[in-house]
Amino acid sequence: MNKPEIPPADTELALRLKVAACTQLLVHHKLMNYSGHVSARLPSRDAFLIQPIDVPRSGLGPEHLLICDYDGKILQGPAGEKAPAEVALHGEILRARPDVNSVAHFHHDLTNAFTLVEDRPLLIVKNHAIRWADGMPVHPDPAHVANAKLGRAVVETLGKHHALQIRAHGQVITAESVEAVLTDSVHFVENAEALYHATCLGKVVPLSPADIASFAEHFKRTRHVNKLWRFYIESGQADGVLPADWNI
């Protein structure tokens, strides 16, 4: 896997604002709640930004974020703050996957319901879910990813894929940027919700390989990610969810 360029604009401050904004937006749109976290790899360092364990996700600011190494050790951060219990989830994925620059982990119940039944796998039913055309694995161990061994087990389940669900626990979304991890998180949950509704209506017809190829032919990921990011940032600032003076 090739290592993508991190845009020059992604200074540490820019990444801090993006992680804080992404987290607040995931809470506002009810993908994340009292638990969960977004991480972002820092350019030119084997380290990443992540929020402390107990700071409310709804009020996360750039000044709250920790800098951790891939072992989850805090390198820099506000005095007295601790890393999240599942920091190893982020550290081990970022260590193993140079193509990933941002990870989102949250616990969305309806999406996770597909890990609780035997005969209803999460299928691709919405066009933007082609991101996961090569699979959306389910990690069998519902434990909190509380140490490196558990983190490496998640990495093994993730393989080359871009998302997974942890059974009876939650979602892990990986992407090339914070903007993309927000976009993919939205689409991952949208797809699960669409599948749930379709299942209530009748026999589900998932996207076929031909459907996927047809949509992919004209899809411009970078442009789409930028479009969604601008929509959520600007509507978030207009609605007072995000501070208007965050220059994102």
Closest CB to Zn ion among residues 91, 170: 170
Q: Which of the ranges 43-51, 108-116, 151-159, 168-176 carries the binding residues for Zn ion, by CB under 5 A?
A: 168-176
Q: Under 8 Å CB-to-CB from 160, ≥6 apart: which residues?
A: 1, 134
The burial of 122, by beta-carbon neighbours within 10 Å (0-12 exposed, 13-18 middle, 19 or more buried), is given as: buried
Which of 72/170 has CB closer to Zn ion? 170
Q: Closest approach of Cβ 132 to Zn ion, in Å? A: 19
CB of 107 closer than 8 Å to CB of 116: no
Give the C-alpha separation, 209 to 130, whole Å.
10
Shortest separation between residue 50's beta carbon and Zn ion, angstroms:
13
At closest approach, how far in Å is the CB of 142 from Zn ion?
9
Judged by CB under 5 A, the number of residues near Zn ion is 1
Give the C-alpha separation, 242 to 146, whole Å: 31
Q: Which residues are bridge partners to 40 per DSSP? A: 49, 102
**How many Å apart are CA 164 and CA 3, to the nearest integer?**
21
Between 3 and 149, whose beta carbon lies closer to Zn ion? 149
Give residues 169-188 in contact with Zn ion (rule: CB under 5 A): 170
**Residue position matching structure tokens 């379709």:** 198
Of 17 and 181, the one with the shorter C-beta distance to Zn ion is 181
With contacts defined by CB under 5 A, name the span among 12-20, 166-174, 227-235, 239-247 that binds Zn ion.
166-174
Candidate segments 59-67, 132-140, 167-175, 194-202, binder of Zn ion by CB under 5 A: 167-175
Q: CA 191, CA 185: separation in Å to the nearest integer?
A: 10
What minimum distance in Å lies between the beta carbon of 107 and Zn ion?
Answer: 6
**Residue with smaller CB distance to Zn ion, 100 or 124:** 100
How far apart, in whole angstroms, are the C-alpha atoms of residue 169 and residue 142? 6
Contacts with Zn ion, residue ranges (CB under 5 A): 170
